[in-house]
Amino acid sequence: MEITVVHGDITRQQVDAVVNAANNRMRGGSGVDGAIHRAGGPAVLADCVARFPHGLATGDAGWTTAGEMAARWVIHVVGPNRTAGQTDRGLLTSCYRRALEVADELGAGAVAFPLVSAGVYGWPKDDAIAAALEMFRAVDTDVAEARLVAFDGATYELMRAALSG
């Protein structure tokens, strides 16, 4: 699998699937979650309500339509909320592993990932990047490209350095 890092808007990526850093309720939120719901339109929320009436467990993943985005699917993952005391790194790595498993089920060749849990959920960015890269390198998958997308320049530089280092 090719691992790439880009600086940009995850909602505008030309990929088969976009990964959403969702919350347990699966009803939209802030950060990446809010951006994906806004860009995808009401179809994303409607599909979340239909597929996940009771939400999704931390560390798990599931998919919905991508609505109005260029991608075909959104793969929703629920990362650990470190600021709320969820410090089990296994929950974070599980998000990437489960997202790749769901991508394989869907037949997605290119998948764009945010940095899960590294925003309002408070996971340190350097460890969040390391967790993503570890899983991309360890999971046996048919995904051809895992694309880490950074919205801001500083995070992009951290990702780029970690990938090349």
Which residue in 16, 33, 47, 60 is the catalytic one?
Answer: 33
Q: Which residues pair with 75 in a beta bridge?
A: 19, 63
Residue 33 a catalytic site member: yes
> How many CB atoms are located within 10 Å of the residue 128 CB?
28
The CA distance from 135 to 156, in Å, is 19
Catalytic residues: 33
